[in-house]
């Protein structure tokens, strides 16, 4: 049996809030891979590299827990780790020297896990893959920062934000999507509340920024206020 660990980190801004995403799958023989565990966690403040490296570490720690504590992987032969961080792969393989103490500590823990499995013996292979092939882990890392709403329609959200940026519209702070009191709002309502409620833009200016008509933004703003009022939030 082989275990596949797909890991990714997200950071907004950089440095800033960090989120990690990990998808762990198993494959028996030539059968399709089966997802056995997912991780989507906010892990505090740091850099994008720290998020990437921590995601790989957390994935390997979970596999090690399954192997040593749960006894769920008696037939394990190989662990294949996929990451879109080329720096991490080169630091693990020794191609690059590592001078950052925070990253060095994470890499040291990863190497300790690899050394443990080598004695069994089980190979731990850390491999680079393009970010486009690591979308499941990426989405879980973004979800850790933005919240469950990110997963409702990830494609729509990504492309909506991209269109805003392409039109030169200011980027709404990611913290707006992590506000607990706004969990009851849609993505569009969060954008309007950030611009009209927090940034104090007139509805007309917010409508121009978002590329919507005045009545749509006016309606969303007041609908959002009613939702918040219903939650006891002023």
Per-residue model confidence as pLDDT tens digits over 16-54: 889 999 999 999 877 789 999 999 999 999 999 999 999
Six token digits for residue 52: 């990437």
Residue 107 has what pLDDT?
97
Query: What is the overall mean pLDDT for the chain?
Result: 86
Give the pLDDT band (50/70/90) at residue 189.
confident
pLDDT score of 172 more than 80 = no
At 127, which helix (H) or strand (E)? strand 123-128
Residues 81 and 7: beta-carbon distance below 8 Å: yes
CA gyration radius, the chain: 21
Residue 126 has what pLDDT?
97
Order of strands across the sheet that contains 16-27? 34-46, 16-27, 2-12, 78-83, 123-128
pLDDT score of 4 more than 70 = yes
Give the C-alpha distances (Å, rounded to integers) separating 201 from 78, 182, 193, 205, 226.
56, 19, 10, 6, 19
62-88 in b/e form (b: 16+ CB < 10 A) is bbbebbeeeeebeebeebbbbbbbebb
Give the angle 60-174-215 at the CA atoms, nearest 5°.
140
Of residues 228 and 212, more confidence is placed in 228
Give the pLDDT band (50/70/90) at residue 6.
very high
Give the pLDDT band (50/70/90) at residue 150.
low
Residues 5 and 26: beta-carbon distance below 8 Å: no
- Domains belonging to the chain, first-starting first, are 2-137 (3.30.420.10), 149-230 (1.10.10)
Per-residue model confidence as pLDDT tens digits over 76-116: 999 999 999 999 999 999 999 999 999 999 999 999 999 99
- pTM of the prediction? 0.68
Q: How far apart are CA 55 and CA 184, in angstroms?
A: 29
Q: Which positions ≥6 away from 129 have C-beta within 8 Å? A: 6, 82, 83, 84
> Which of 46, 70, 27 minimizes the C-alpha distance to 141?
46
Of residues 80 and 132, more confidence is placed in 80
Residue 20, SS3 per DSSP: strand
pLDDT score of 171 more than 70 = no
Residue 41 phi/psi, 5-degree rounding, is -135, 140
Give the C-alpha distances (Å, rounded to integers) separating 102 from 59, 107, 182.
18, 9, 34
Of residues 106 and 132, more confidence is placed in 106
Residue 68 has what pLDDT?
94
């Amino acid at each position: 049996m082989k275990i596949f660990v797909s890991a990714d980190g997200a950071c907004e801004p950089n440095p800033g809030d960090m989120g990690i995403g990990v998808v762990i799958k198993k494959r028996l023989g030539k059968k399709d891979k089966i997802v056995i565990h997912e991780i989507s966690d906010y892990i505090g403040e740091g850099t994008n590299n720290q998020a990437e490296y921590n995601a790989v570490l957390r994935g390997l720690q979970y596999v090690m827990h399954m192997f040593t504590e749960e006894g769920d992987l008696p037939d394990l032969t190989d662990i294949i780790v996929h990451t879109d961080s080329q720096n991490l792969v080169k630091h693990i393989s020794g191609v690059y020297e590592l001078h950052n103490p925070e990253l060095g500590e994470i890499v040291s823990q990863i190497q300790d896990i690899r050394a443990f499995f080598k004695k069994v013996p089980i190979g731990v292979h850390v491999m680079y893959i393009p970010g486009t092939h690591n979308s499941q882990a990426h989405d879980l890392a973004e979800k850790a920062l933005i919240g469950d709403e990110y997963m409702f329609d990830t494609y729509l959200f990504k492309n909506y934000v991209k269109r805003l940026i392409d039109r030169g519209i200011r980027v709404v702070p990611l913290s707006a999507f992590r506000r607990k009191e706004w969990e009851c709002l849609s993505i569009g309502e969060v954008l309007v509340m950030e611009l009209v409620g927090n940034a104090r833009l007139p509805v007309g200016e917010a409508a121009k920024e978002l590329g919507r008509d005045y009545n749509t933004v006016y309606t969303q703003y007041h609908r959002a206020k009613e939702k918040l009022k219903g939650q006891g939030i002023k």
